[in-house]
Amino acid sequence: MAGNDVRHRGGFRQIPIYIGKFFRMFIFMDDWKVLPFSALIAALVSYAVGNTMFVTMEGTMKGSLALTCVLIWNGFFNSIQSICRERNVIKREHRSGMKIGAYLSSQIIYQAFLCLMQAVITLAVFYMAGMKRVSSGVVTPFFLVDLAITFFLISFSSDMLALMISAVSKTTTFAMTVMPFVLVFQLVFSGGVFALQGGASILTNFTIAKWGMCAICAICGYNSLPTFTVWNQLQNLKGYEYEGMYPVQMVVDNIERTGNVEKFCMEIASNNQVAQYASTPTNVLNVWSYLLDFAIVFSLLSLFFLSKIDKDKR
């Protein structure tokens, strides 16, 4: 019989057991499939976004929103069922000495691995699709490294949010029902789909999508890109007649004749700059820290909710 002097494996020593278990499942069961799926979805989105990403303001805004969506989607799908599908097993093991902290730490490490892999895959796919590369990074000397860190943080913080939902959910059905609502919230309140005002704009600060977009736009130098929206509108209005004259056409022709199209577009763009997209190391580091904060808060909440597992009703 176990006596007081008999020591059992503590939480820290239990972590390798569960990491081993999760990686066995990754290799031998279906868990590895999240990686090719992330490549597939990245390929589809890169095809839809086209090659204007990181070239114009509009293309970058559209592309960063699409990229953020892909990464949030990846993170959600990695972990949304990971706890609730084995809730009964966790409960049993908890009663046999498993520490919830150890289990959750192993999950977090495993999920971080998945997110890192997916971030690299997504980056590779976009790179292969002809995404424009900025010459240098904002925080690190390398643009791709900055982008990879951002991708990882977006994916990981979303993963932790889904892990928290999984820790709260008693069944996989419940988790899968809640997930679309959270996803819609992330996208609608990202501020990227349409401009939000008043109280709703405050809510954007609580979305991973907003800060994800901020980081991507800051790293790719959004504020230094031209915008062609006004120029394209002017082209469409060239036929506008006023008192027998075509004022818009005159302006457009004049800009083209003097070779100032790009200068014009840059001047228009200078009015559309967004302070939160500033390409400074401080800004990017701040945004990264927000994403990391989300991940930490969601992890702690997961721990809190999962530690109540013994109170589950039959």
Partner 1 sequence: MNLDILQILFFFLDTIGLWLLFRMCGENKWWALVPLYRFYKLSQCAQKEENGRTFFVLYFFNYFFQIISSIIQNFFPQFNGMVYMLDVLSLLLGIGSFVYKVRIYIGMCDVFSVSKKWVALWIISTGLGALVFALKKAFVYTPSVKKSAASESGLVAQETKEGLSINIKKRTVGGLLNKRNLLKDIHLNIPKGRMVLLVGGSGAGKTTFINAITGFEKADAKILLDGKDVYKSFEDVKYDIGFVPQMDMIRYNDNVRKTVLDAASLRLPISISDKEKNEIVDGVLDEFGLKAVEDNMVGKLSGGQKKRESIAMEFVSNPSLFILDEPDSGLDGVLARELMEHLHRISREGKIVIVITHSPDRVLDLFDDVIVLAKDADRTGRLVFYGLVEEAKAFFDRDRMEEIVKVINQKEEGGLGMADELIVKYGEIRNGRK
Give the interface with partner 1 as residue ranges (CB under 8 A). 1-4, 6-9, 13-14, 17, 20-21, 24-25, 28-30, 86, 88-89, 91-93, 95-98, 198-200, 310, 314
Q: Which residue number, 2 or 275, has a Cβ lying nearer to partner 1? A: 2
DSSP string, 132-166: PPPSS-SSSS-HHHHHHHHHHHHHHHHHHHHHHHH
Closest CA to 58 of 49, 69, 67, 45: 49
Q: How far is the CB of 58 from partner 1 (least distance, A)?
A: 29
Q: Which is nearer to partner 1, 14 or 227 (CB)?
A: 14
**From the CB of 30, what's the least distance to partner 1, in Å?**
8
Q: In whole angstroms, how close is the CB of 62 to partner 1 at the nearest point?
A: 28
Nearer to partner 1, 177 or 289 (CB): 177
| Residue number with CB closer to partner 1 (16 or 130) | 16
Name the token pair of 153.
Answer: 């943080």
Other Cβ atoms closer than 10 A to 24: 11
CB of 89 to partner 1, least distance (A): 5
Choice between 3 and 141, CB closer to partner 1: 3
Which residues partner with 245 through β-bridges? 242
Report phi then psi at 108, rounded to 5.
-65, -40
Direct distance between the N- and C-terminal alpha carbons of the chain, in angstroms, rounded to an integer: 30
183, 239, 259 from 247: Cα distances, Å: 47, 9, 19
Buried b (16+ CB within 10 A) or exposed e, 109-135: ebbbebbbbbbbbbbebbeebebeebe
Provide, rounded to whole angstroms, the least separation between the CB of residue 260 and partner 1: 44
From the CB of 210, what's the least distance to partner 1, in Å? 18
Nearer to partner 1, 92 or 263 (CB): 92
